[in-house]
């Protein structure tokens, strides 16, 4: 039975700022809540008896780290668990679908080798082993080598933006596939007006991550964001209803951690830049939040995927 989607929580920034006065306990509480959700998800997966978990979520939802956290929770219960990224299944550069302007359409499912995905997942379900392709992101082509994978009676967690697309799973036995959708369910208001929706929090996450770990300029991330969101609406969120479990990846103290990065960005783009207004508005919203230090974030926190 499809999961019931948890309604979003709208929290007043003033309440977050009050909680931030007890910074260490606030951080521990938020981390404990997330870990509890991960372990609850592990219980659901085990109860399902499925050998394959398909896990998706929109950009900067924390799906990659959540997949690894879920695998870790399963291993703590004595269950062999492996994580596979759908990125392994990208086609070669000359086979990518193209957008009208000629640029590569990474968000389209046809950028993936669907037949190869189905082959590997069917082998895992029927034999417990397979050989995965390996993708070289430097050359944007497949490597000739294969990656052997053996489940040993355990669970394979497949993560990626298309993980819930029926094109990947319709050929698989339904009783062997468990579907998880990861997304933020907490938004923030100021004096009764919503100021930080989940999409803006994800944008802030991505701006920090792209700059710190991917060498992308602020301008590049902002220029891509509209296209990323359009891809989410077209290829990811439409399959949310397919999920067996809806995993909340919000952390109430996160906006306090992002504030020191985002607030100073006001005025960083020229006034005539098409994204200047968006950036200035975002920085203004984060200026309402009491900033907290990254020292509060545990080294194994999911938030380290974005904050370093």
pLDDT at res. 212: 84
pLDDT at res. 276: 95
pLDDT at res. 5: 54
pLDDT at res. 3: 55
pLDDT at res. 94: 87
pLDDT at res. 97: 83
Structural domains in the chain?
Answer: 9-307 (3.40.50.300)
96 class by beta-carbon count within 10 Å (0-12 exposed, 13-18 middle, 19+ buried): middle
Q: Which stretches in the chain have pLDDT values below 50?
A: 1
Query: Taking the model in full, what pTM does it have?
Result: 0.92
pLDDT at res. 72: 98
pLDDT at res. 137: 84
């Amino acid at each position: 039975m499809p999961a019931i989607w948890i309604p979003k929580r709208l929290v007043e920034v003033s309440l977050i700022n009050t909680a931030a006065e007890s910074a260490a306990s606030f951080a521990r509480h938020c981390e404990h809540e997330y870990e509890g959700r991960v372990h609850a998800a592990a219980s659901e997966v085990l109860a399902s008896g499925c050998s394959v978990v398909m896990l998706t979520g929109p950009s900067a939802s924390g799906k990659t780290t959540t997949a690894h956290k879920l695998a870790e929770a399963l291993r703590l219960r004595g269950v062999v668990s492996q994580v596979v990224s759908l990125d392994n299944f990208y086609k070669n550069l000359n086979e990518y679908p193209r957008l009208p302007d000629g640029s590569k359409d990474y968000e389209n499912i046809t950028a993936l080798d669907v037949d190869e995905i189905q082959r590997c997942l069917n082998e895992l379900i029927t034999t417990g082993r397979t050989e995965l392709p390996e993708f070289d992101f430097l050359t944007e082509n497949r490597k000739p080598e294969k990656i052997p994978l053996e489940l040993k009676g355990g669970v394979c967690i497949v993560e990626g933006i298309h993980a819930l697309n029926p094109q990947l799973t319709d050929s698989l036995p339904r009783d062997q596939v468990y579907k998880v959708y990861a997304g933020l369910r907490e938004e923030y208001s100021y004096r009764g007006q919503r100021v930080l929706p989940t999409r803006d929090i994800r944008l802030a996450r991505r701006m920090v991550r792209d700059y710190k770990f991917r060498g992308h300029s602020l301008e590049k991330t902002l220029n891509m964001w509209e296209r990323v969101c359009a891809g989410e609406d077209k290829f990811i969120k439409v399959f949310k209803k397919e999920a067996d479990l809806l995993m909340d990846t919000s952390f109430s103290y996160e906006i306090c951690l992002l504030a020191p990065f985002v607030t100073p960005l006001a005025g960083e783009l020229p006034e005539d830049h098409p994204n200047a207004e968006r950036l200035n508005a975002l920085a203004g919203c984060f200026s309402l939040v009491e900033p907290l230090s990254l020292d509060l974030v545990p080294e194994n926190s999911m938030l380290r995927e974005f904050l370093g």
